[in-house]
Structure 1
């Protein structure tokens, strides 16, 4: 089996630690030194990586017959965004909106007996973020078919899939393992019921999976545990099927009574129960306001309206001025016929129904009888994963320049932690210092006198999210699918619009002031569109402007030409 060694010498460690402490100014002090840590598989993408890793030449079929080739470009290079250790290179996905696949095959498969911990650890650096795509790793199964890296694709069987995956609001850190049914020999994927969120960052993120001999697991991000669980309890479908199942031949008897309660057959409607009483009645205590003008219509013809010159009474009918609100009604409680407002009817009781009582014939909720599950088995050691013959990345992404580095596969959490100390813990502070330095500069690269303001940060967010959405729309044929998968960005714009509208409303109220105060008088209610809509004083049945119809002006040749 291939084993790649990595570590940093003590002198280099000291130099790099000093570099981290002094920030980005120590850029030329300290260079990458491969580690000496060993495991079942260790990879730092040092020179000669091309002889170990092979890009796929296969195709992927989606939506039936739609073919996508794995034409995404792979490269091994130093980071271009917030670089860490000089000379430290990583496997890099270089293409946007493309299928990527690359793998390496072990000389000998890894056989897992479940008696030792099993550890998978690697770094991801999302230099341009992760708006939509995957960054997970697959440990390829060697027990189902011969592994051919040139044919590696989505249908290649794997033993474990682990790592981040995000598209819009859907963000998860996968841990999937394929379990072999000992009775049928068929493999089935087992997914975490509640996967944690992936961390999206332009600096390196360390993902670690530890599976223990007792079938417990621990998922860590940057060496901090984000989820602990059990292989037999926290995956769906469950590893072991139930011992008993419902009898598929059992049927509910025809005389089975499911109703727990029934209407009381001895109950009768009370004599004083009036089913015809309405829910609402006119308020008998209401009085017409003293200033209500019943003889005045709510709408009157516009006295200032002028009949159009092109209006022909013979052809267009008698011209009528458009209705406008009656000015006499502006400063009074209302106009038109007054009716008392509606109030709840105290005598209303609704349709009578008999009260429910326990059903004496009730037999309980029916369920089919249980029988022994003919497909039952019990595997108490699902941590004996299928033999692993290689490792690969098979991914689709909308974002380029995603890097993978410092892969460790082994049986020692302590060695994995030591490996992280020699690699990840050295580069992370360097990258963070560079990120901090960039945030302290303006768009021209000049040092800011003050920290990035909230407004500047807000503008940067809008610009970044706009670029992401434009990239997606320009590279995808299915625009609706892009918008559906970009719910986070669409939601962001909705929030921005809501905030801007709120600010406009606030400024309008501050600059425009309130309405002119009128002389004190009884409160006036807005007329309802309904002729019987209730008000505090009463209801006007006069017609509103929206319900008045008149003959529209006939379109002449001149006016038609304008259209």
Structure 2
């Protein structure tokens, strides 16, 4: 069987063959600069965000983990790369890549699109027709899902299931498998998270059966399981008021009917009140069950054994929006070999995941210690400022006391001079 492979792993070029399978080539990103010659920026808009080559702030290997990273906030991105066109008819299709939302993304896409080879890459935009869209989409706490969208006869059809995506800051491996028997599988970290039938999990086709438009429920069809007992009668003493005047209430002695109006006692809940009377329920002897509308074969339904198949794949594109940039796309793989995809995943994401987490933990610990030192230094500086402030206050108090003493001496002299004057009097 013919095998088609497109693998991007940064930055070196590798070629390998295994157990008689065709070789895969890794990578088109031969150097720090060569990737720009293989990827085309769309010119449909003038303000698309820029991608850069980066391993990010934490990684397993500084060179091997370099990928395409979004670099500008609140931007649309439109970048694509072309490969030798192929059809997946009668063959499995595997789409795989790694993704790292290093910025702890709050709203933005992390998916890829597979386009036909007829795409004008310089005019690629959000409305450009694609074959398949696959990957995570996050926007707030309500949207954290993996998109799997197929274009069928010109219409984009979304999966009917909710597949949860990863929303942390680490690298994750996403894999979509579409098989010739019209089944699919979605894997994250090489583990199945969803699978099933294309026809059942997408609304590609009209329903096989529809309600018979000629069928109508018979007029005498009784769907009531229970009915009122015709023998049950309401007791004659049943009807009692819900509220009655309080028998213990007395008109205040100072009540003035001319001023206050006619006095009425307050009401209380009637202890004899029984509520609304309802007859006893019994089984309905005429009950026939719930009427089910008969179905017929849908004349508009036609089975399609090639839901999975596309005549032409030729371009892989990153067409998305991000509020906060920093996402890294890497290790793109398109193949018909499920086993190969699993191995590539283990050799890329699998080989770097632990080292990446370890580096992130070390950075977090260093940041924690740095913050503690800064907090400690700030408190010490605040303490020194308080001490200096107290010293200045004490100096001001001493100066005020020194200024007050001459005033007291002057006041004494005045008293002494006043004394002889009084004596003279």
Shift of 1:46: 3.4
Distance 2:305 2:63 in 1: 46
After superposition, the Cα gap between the structure-2 partners of 1:224 and 1:344, relative to the gap in structure 1 and judged at 3 Å, is farther
Three-state SS of the structure 2 residue aligned to 1:107 is strand
More strand by share: 2
1:173 equivalent in structure 2 = 146
After superposition, the Cα gap between the structure-2 partners of 1:370 and 1:70, relative to the gap in structure 1 and judged at 3 Å, is farther
Shift of 1:135: 0.5
Shift of 1:119: 1.5
5 Å-filtered alignment, 1:155-554, equals: 155-169=127-141, 170-179=143-152, 186-233=153-200, 235-237=201-203, 239-248=204-213, 255=219, 260=224, 263-264=228-229, 267-273=232-238, 275=239, 277-280=240-243, 342-343=268-269, 345=271, 347-356=272-281, 365=290, 368-385=293-310, 387-442=312-367, 446=370
5 Å-filtered alignment, 1:28-47, equals: 33-36=12-15, 45-47=29-31
2:37 equivalent in structure 1 = 51
Deviations along 1:127-165, one digit per CA (max 9) or x if unpaired, are 2121001110111145xxx31112212222222211110
1:135 has 2:110 as partner: yes
Shift of 1:266: 5.5
Deviations along 1:359-411, one digit per CA (max 9) or x if unpaired, are 67766655554333111122345333453222111101101121111101101
Root-mean-square deviation (Å): 3.8
2:83 equivalent in structure 1 = 106
Three-state SS of the structure 1 residue aligned to 2:367 is coil
Distance 1:354 1:446 in 2: 77
Shift of 1:81: 1.6
Asked if the contact 1:125–1:202 (Cα under 8 Å) also holds between the matched residues in 2, the reply is yes
Aligned partner of 2:48 among 49, 66, 72:
72
Identify unmatched segments of 5+ residues in structure 1: 9-31, 59-68, 180-185, 289-293, 298-336, 450-563
Three-state SS of the structure 1 residue aligned to 2:332 is strand
Distance 1:5 1:380 in 2: 29
Aligned partner of 2:121 among 126, 149, 157:
149
Shift of 1:124: 1.0
Identify unmatched segments of 5+ residues in structure 2: 17-21, 256-262, 374-425
Distance 1:388 1:282 in 2: 85
Distance 1:249 1:95 in 2: 60
TM, length-normalised to structure 2: 0.70
1:125 equivalent in structure 2 = 100
Distance 2:127 2:222 in 1: 48
After superposition, the Cα gap between the structure-2 partners of 1:369 and 1:282, relative to the gap in structure 1 and judged at 3 Å, is same
Paired residues, number: 352
Asked if the contact 2:115–2:129 (Cα under 8 Å) also holds between the matched residues in 1, the reply is yes
Higher CA-based Rg = 2
Shift of 1:78: 1.8
Three-state SS of the structure 2 residue aligned to 1:432 is helix
Distance 1:45 1:296 in 2: 99
Asked if the contact 1:153–1:394 (Cα under 8 Å) also holds between the matched residues in 2, the reply is yes
Asked if the contact 2:5–2:333 (Cα under 8 Å) also holds between the matched residues in 1, the reply is no
Asked if the contact 1:6–1:34 (Cα under 8 Å) also holds between the matched residues in 2, the reply is no
Asked if the contact 2:187–2:194 (Cα under 8 Å) also holds between the matched residues in 1, the reply is yes
User: Which stretch has the larger CA shift, 258-267 or 45-54?
Assistant: 258-267
